[in-house]
Amino acid sequence: MAKIIFYGGKGGVGKTTCSTANSISYAERGLRTLLVSTDPAHSISDVLGVKIGKKIINLRENLDGLEIDPEYEAELYVNKIRENMKTILSNVIIEEINSQLDAAMVSPGTHESALFDKISDIIIDKFEEYDIIIFDTAPTGHTLRILTLPDLLEGWMGSLAKKRKSIVDMNKMVTRKYDKKDPVLEILEKRQKRFSEIKKIFNDNDNVRIRFVLNAEKLPIEETKKAIKMLNQFNIPVDTLVINRIMPDDIGADFWEKKKKQEEEYLLDIEKEFRGKEFIKIPMLDTDMSKDTVDRLSKFFND
C-alpha cells in the first residue's frame, strides 16, 4: 500500500471532503494517518470543525492533521535565503538583492518552491512515523506544478552547483585564501541532496499515489484527461480516480425535498450573513455545461 497519497482535481470537485474521508477510513482501520492540507483556503479545519494549524495536532484516534500556509512558508523560505546571503555577500549587494527578494515573496514560483520544500520536509521527517500521509491540495494547476517540481528543481540545482563549483575552483587557482568550504556551494549541495532524497521516494511507485477527484460532468472530465496526460510525461502515474457526488440509485422525491430544504436554509443564511449585498440567483440546470447552457443561464443576469 502507498505511503503517500496526493488528492488532486479541479476546483470544488471534493478534494478536501474525499481526502478527509479517506484519512478517517485509514485511521479507523488502525493505520497511523497524517492528513496535510496544502490549500491556502484551509478547508480541512472547516470540514472537521477543528482548528488545525502549522503544528501537527491529533484529530482522533490514529489521525493527525496539519495545515501548511504557503504564504508563511514563502516568507520563511525567503528569509532563510537572506540569512544565508549575509554570510557571503557585502552590504551593498545585500540591499539590492533584498529588494529583489521582496518581489520574489509575492511571485507564484516562490510559493510553490517553498511549499514543495515544506512537503519534502514532512515526507522525509514523518515517513517512518506514519503509515499513510495524505495531502489535500489546491485545484489542479497547483498540484501538477508541485508534483513535477522535484524533476525540474533537481536539474536546476545541479546546474547551479556545477557553475558555482567551477567559480570556486577558479578562485582556488588564483588565490590561496579560498580553502574554506564555499557556503553557497554548501547550500546548493545540501538542497540538491534533499531533492534527490525526495525524488527517490517519489520515483518508487509503491510509495506515492495520486488520486484525482472528479464529478461525472464535462469540465472535470476534460481537466482530468489533461492532468493525467501531463503527469504521464513526468512518469507520474495516476491509477485511481475518485468519482464524487454520484447520485444514489434509489433517488426519489424525498432526496430532492431534503436537498431543497437544506438549500432554503442556506439561502436564508446567505441573505442574513451578507445583508446589504445584491444577489444574482442562478438556478441549477438539468443539463451539463455547453454553449446552450451558458446561453440559458445568461438570461438570469438582468443587471
Ligand X SMILES: Nc1ncnc2c1ncn2[C@@H]1O[C@H](COP(=O)(O)OP(=O)(O)OP(=O)(O)O)[C@@H](O)[C@H]1O
Select from 7-15, 194-202, 207-215, 243-251 the region that touches Mg ion (CB under 5 A): 7-15
Nearer to Mg ion by C-beta: 15 or 191?
15
Q: CA angle, corner 225, sides to 17 and 35, nearest 5? A: 25
Q: How many residues bind Mg ion (CB under 5 A)?
A: 4
Distances (CA, A) of 76 to 64, 185, 190: 24, 21, 17
Nearer to ligand X by C-beta: 244 or 293?
244
Least distance from C-beta 20 to Mg ion, angstroms? 9
Least distance from C-beta 21 to ligand X, angstroms? 9
Least distance from C-beta 41 to ligand X, angstroms? 6
Q: Is 23 one of the binding residues for Mg ion (CB under 5 A)? A: no
Select from 13-21, 51-59, 101-109, 185-193 the region that touches Mg ion (CB under 5 A): 13-21
Instruction: Write down how long the chain is.
Output: 303
Q: Which does 244 bind (CB under 5 to 8 A by kind): Mg ion, ligand X, none?
A: ligand X
Q: Which of residues 34-63 bind Mg ion (CB under 5 A)?
A: 39, 43
| Helix or strand (DSSP H, E) at 136 | strand 132-136
Residue in 70, 76, 13, 64 with CA at minimum distance from that of residue 41: 70
| Helix or strand (DSSP H, E) at 121 | helix 108-126
Least distance from C-beta 43 to Mg ion, angstroms? 5
Q: Which residues contact 288 (CB under 8 A, 6 or more apart)?
A: 217, 218
The Cα–Cα gap between 38 and 116 comes to 10
| Helix or strand (DSSP H, E) at 189 | helix 183-203
Positions in the binding site for ligand X (CB under 6 A)? 9, 11-17, 39, 41, 43, 138-139, 244-245
Nearer to ligand X by C-beta: 7 or 116?
7
The answer to whether 207 and 3 have CB atoms below 8 angstroms apart is yes
Q: Is 16 one of the binding residues for Mg ion (CB under 5 A)? A: yes
Residue in 163, 156, 133 with CA at minimum distance from that of residue 68: 133
The letter for the amino acid at 61 is: E
The Cα–Cα gap between 146 and 117 comes to 10
Nearer to ligand X by C-beta: 12 or 237?
12
Select from 16-24, 81-89, 250-258, 264-272 the region that touches Mg ion (CB under 5 A): 16-24
Burial of 26 (0-12, 13-18, 19+ CB in 10 A): buried
Q: Is 143 one of the binding residues for Mg ion (CB under 5 A)? A: no
Least distance from C-beta 136 to Mg ion, angstroms? 6
The Cα–Cα gap between 32 and 127 comes to 11
Q: Which does 17 bind (CB under 5 to 8 A by kind): ligand X, Mg ion, none?
A: ligand X
Q: Which of residues 212-271 bind Mg ion (CB under 5 A)?
A: none
Least distance from C-beta 111 to ligand X, angstroms? 16
Q: Which residues bind Mg ion (CB under 5 A)?
A: 15-16, 39, 43
